A and B are shown apart, each in its own frame.
Chain A
Amino acid sequence: MTTYLVPLILIGGLASAGVYLLLERTLTRMLLGLLLVGNAVNLLILNVGGPSGNPPVYGRSSNGSTTDADPLAQGMILTAIVISMGIAAFVLALAYRSYQLTTVEEVSNDPEDTRVAERTDEDILDRDIPDVVPSRDTDAPDELDALPGAEGSR
C-alpha cells in the first residue's frame, strides 16, 4: 500500500489543533476541537482506504484508472460524519442551555468533588465516630424497639 505524505501531514495538523482546542474550558472551542479531530480521523480512514480509482459502480470509470476506489472507507466516513453532526447539534444545544443557566459557557467543576477534595480532617462534620452528644438518651428504648417509628424519619 502506498500512502502520500501530504494527507498525513494534514491529518496530523488537524488532530493536533483539535486536541489543543479540546483542552480548553470553553464549550464552543471544545466542540470545534471535537469536529477538527473528527475530520482528521475521517481523512485518516479515507487515506487507509487506498488510492483513488474508479467509482465502485459497475461500468463506470474515472480518469482511466485501472483499480476501483474502496467504497467501504467512504461508507465509514459517511456514517462518522452523520454521527458527529448529530452530536455537534446536541453539544450546541447543551452550550446554549449552559449559557442560559449560568451566562458562561464554560465547563465548571463538580461542586461535590471540590467539597470532598477541600475537606480537611478538622472540618469533617460527619465523622464516622461521632464525638457529639447524641440527641437522645442512648440507654432509653431505641427507635428500633418502638416500631413503627413516627419520629426521626418518614
Chain B
Amino acid sequence: MTLASILTPLPVLIPTIAAAITMVAGRRPRLQQLISLTSLTAVVAVCAVLLYLVDRDGTVAVQVGGWGQSEPGMGPLGITLVADRLSVLMLVVSSIVLLAVVFYAIGQGISDGDERQPVSIFQPTYLVLSAGVCAAFLAGDLFNLFVGFEVLLAASFVLLTIGGSAERVRAGIAYVMVSMVSSLIFLIGIALVYATTGTLNMAEMAVRLDDVPDGTRAALFAVLLVAFAIKAAVFPLSAWLPDSYPTAPAPVTAVFAGLLTKVGVYAIIRAHSLLFPGGRLDNVLMVAALLTMMVGILGAIAQNDIKRLLSFTLVSHIGYMVFGIALGNHLGMSGAVYYVAHHIIVQTTLFLVVGLIERQAGASTLQRLGGLAAASPLLAFVFVIPALNLGGIPPFSGFIGKVALLEAGAQDGSSLAWILVGGSVVTSLLTLYAVTRVWTKAFWRARADAPEGALSNTTPAALIDDDDDIAFADRDDVGRMPVGMLLPTGALIAVGLALTVAAGPIYAYSERAAEQVLDRGQYISAVLKP
C-alpha cells in the first residue's frame, strides 16, 4: 500500500462520514459547522498531497475492498478508483471551492440567520454533494460514475429547493425532471456499452471498444454524450440551467455553477479521450460548442437579473471547454483543462459576490440596483476582479485559458476550427459587454436612476428567501459586509489571481495532465496492470 493509494478514497470517504455525523448533530448548528469545516479542510489537504504524489509517480488505481483482478490483464472485479493528473486537478480545485463556499454559507448564517436559518439539513446535504463530486472525479468504472452523479444530483435537488418557497419548488421540479432524464439516458448508455463490451471498468472497456465496429462505437458515444451534455449544459441541452440555478440561495448557486456542470465536462473528456478516441463526433462537438458560446452569451445580454445573467455566461463558457476537447489535439486539451480550473474558480466567486450584492443592496436585478460603487468601494473591488477575469482581460487567467484555446484552434487549422476561433473572440467580447453592463448599472449610476430603484427585499436572508418588497428607504441598515462572507470570497479571488501569478507551473501541469489524458496507455496500464 502506497501513501497515494491510501489517500485516494479519502475525498469520498471523509465527506460521507462527516455528512452522517452532521445529520446526527442536527440540533447543534455550531457543531455541524465545525465538522463541515474540519472535514472539508481535510479533503483539501488530502487532495493537495494527492496532486503532488500523482504528478510525481503517475496514475494511481485503487481497488476498493481489495477486489482486484482475477488474473493479470483482466479487469478488476470490484469498484476501481483512479486518480490521474486530470482528476486530481479537478479534485483540488473543487475541494478549495467547496471549502470556501461552506465558509461563506456559515458566515452568512451567523450574520443573517435567525432560528430557522441555517437550516439543519444544509450541512449534511452539502457534504453529500461534496462526496458525490469527488466520487465522480475518481470513478474508474462507468457505473460508479453514474452513482457519483446520482449522489451529487440527489443532494443538489435538496439544496436547490431548500425552504420550499413557490419559486424554488417551480425551479426544482424542472431541474429534477431534466436531471433524471439525463441520468436515464446515461443508464441507457451504460446498458448499451455493457452489452457491447461486457464490462463496466473504463480501462478494460477502452481496450475492448477498440475491436468494436466504428458505427457501433459512434452510436454508443452519442448516447453517452447526450447524457453528459445535459449535465454540462451544452446547447441545445442547456435550457434548464438558467431557469433553475438563480432561484437557489447564493452559496448553493455558487457551488452548483462552479462544480456541477464541470463534472459533466470531466465526463465528456473521459469519454472522448479514453473510451472513444479517434474523434468521430468532433465536428458535432465543435458545432455544439459554437452554438453554446453564442446562444449562451446572447442570452446573458438580454437578462436583467445578475444571477440569471451569470447563469447564461456559465452556459456560454462551457462552450470554450467543449471547443478545446473537440479539437482533440494536445494544445486544445491542455487549454480545456486549464480553462475548467479557471472557470470553476471565477464563476463561483462571481456568484458569491452576487450574494454579497443581494445582502447589501437588497436586490440582484439591474432594474433596482445602483450606486454600489459609492456605497461600498470594497464590494465594487471584489466584483470587478472576477468580472474582468471572466471577460478575459489580459493579465487574468481567463485570458490565458482563452489564448491557449485560440492557439489550439489555429494549430488545428480546419475551417470549422477557424470559425470557432472567431466565435470564441466574439463571445469573449460579449462577455465583457455583459459584465460591464452590470458594472455601469449596478455600480456607477445612482440608485434613483434605476427604474425600480426604490424597491428592495426586506432583510438579508441566509438560506430562505422571502419575496416581500419594501421601499428601499425603509430597509434597515444592514451594516458592513460580514467578514465571514467577505473572507472566502476574497480567498477565491486570490486563488483566481494565483492562476495568473503561477500560470507557468499551473499551465505546465495542465499540459502534463492533457498529455496523460490523450495517452490512454498510462490510464489503462495503471488499472489493468498487465
Judging by beta carbons under 8 Å apart, are B180 and A107 in contact?
A: no
Judging by beta carbons under 8 Å apart, are B176 and A90 in contact?
A: yes
Judging by beta carbons under 8 Å apart, are B170 and A126 in contact?
A: no
Q: Chain A's nearest CB lies how many Å from the CB of B167?
A: 8
Number of B interface residues, CB 8 Å?
63
| A143 in contact with B446 given A37-B184, A98-B173, A152-B370 (CB within 8 Å) | yes
Question: Taking CB as reference atom, which chain A residue is nearest B244?
Answer: A110
Chain A 84-138 interface residues, beta-carbon cutoff 8 Å to B = 84, 86-87, 90-91, 94-95, 97-98, 101-102, 107-108, 110, 112-113, 116, 119, 125-126, 128, 130, 132, 134-136
Distance of A137 Cα from B471 Cα, bound (Å) = 24
Q: Give every chain A residue within 8 A of B374 (Cβ-Cβ).
A: 143-144, 146-149, 151-153
| A113 in contact with B449 given A45-B187, A98-B173, A107-B174 (CB within 8 Å) | no
Main DSSP-derived SS at the A contact region:
helix
Does A10 make an interface contact (CB < 8 A)? no
Judging by beta carbons under 8 Å apart, are A113 and B243 in contact?
A: yes
Q: Give every chain A residue within 8 A of B157 (Cβ-Cβ).
A: 87, 90
Judging by beta carbons under 8 Å apart, are A147 and B370 in contact?
A: no
Binding stretch for chain A, among B301-309, B336-344, B348-356, B418-426:
B301-309
Question: What 1/0 flags go to B128-167 for Cβ under 8 Å of A?
Answer: 0000000000000001000100100010011001001110
Q: Give every chain A residue within 8 A of B166 (Cβ-Cβ).
A: 98, 101-102
- Chain B CB count within 10 A is highest, among A34, A101, A112, for A112
Distance of A18 Cα from B190 Cα, bound (Å) = 19
Q: Chain B's nearest CB lies how many Å from the CB of A15?
A: 9
Does A69 make an interface contact (CB < 8 A)? no
Q: Chain A's nearest CB lies how many Å from the CB of B178?
A: 10
Q: Give every chain A residue within 8 A of B177 (Cβ-Cβ).
A: 22, 30, 34, 91, 107
Q: Chain A's nearest CB lies how many Å from the CB of B473?
A: 10
Does B231 make an interface contact (CB < 8 A)? no
| A45 in contact with B194 given A90-B154, A94-B173, A152-B370 (CB within 8 Å) | yes
Judging by beta carbons under 8 Å apart, are A143 and B371 in contact?
A: yes
Q: Chain A's nearest CB lies how many Å from the CB of B357?
A: 10
Q: Give every chain A residue within 8 A of B161 (Cβ-Cβ).
A: 94, 97
Does A154 make an interface contact (CB < 8 A)? yes
Question: Taking CB as reference atom, which chain B residue is nearest A105?
Answer: B173
Does B367 make an interface contact (CB < 8 A)? yes
Q: Give every chain B residue within 8 A of A153 (Cβ-Cβ).
A: 360-361, 369-372, 374-376, 447
Q: Give every chain A residue within 8 A of B181 (Cβ-Cβ).
A: 22, 34, 37
Q: Give every chain A residue within 8 A of B371 (Cβ-Cβ).
A: 143, 149, 151-153
Q: Give every chain A residue within 8 A of B158 (Cβ-Cβ).
A: 90
List 20 A–B pairs whose Cβ atoms lie within 8 Å, in order of A's numbering. A30-B177, A34-B180, A45-B187, A48-B195, A72-B194, A80-B187, A87-B157, A90-B158, A94-B172, A94-B176, A97-B161, A97-B164, A110-B243, A116-B304, A135-B448, A143-B374, A144-B373, A147-B374, A152-B375, A153-B372
B: which residues have CB within 8 A of A? 143, 147, 150, 154, 157-158, 161, 164-166, 169-174, 176-177, 180-181, 183-184, 187-188, 190-192, 194-195, 200, 242-243, 246, 302-305, 308, 360-361, 366-367, 369-377, 437, 441, 445-451, 475, 477-478
Q: Top 3 nearest A-B pairs by Cβ distance?
A: A152-B371, A48-B195, A149-B374
A: which residues have CB within 8 A of B? 1, 22, 27, 30, 34, 37-38, 41, 44-45, 48-49, 72-73, 76, 79-80, 83-84, 86-87, 90-91, 94-95, 97-98, 101-102, 107-108, 110, 112-113, 116, 119, 125-126, 128, 130, 132, 134-136, 143-144, 146-149, 151-154
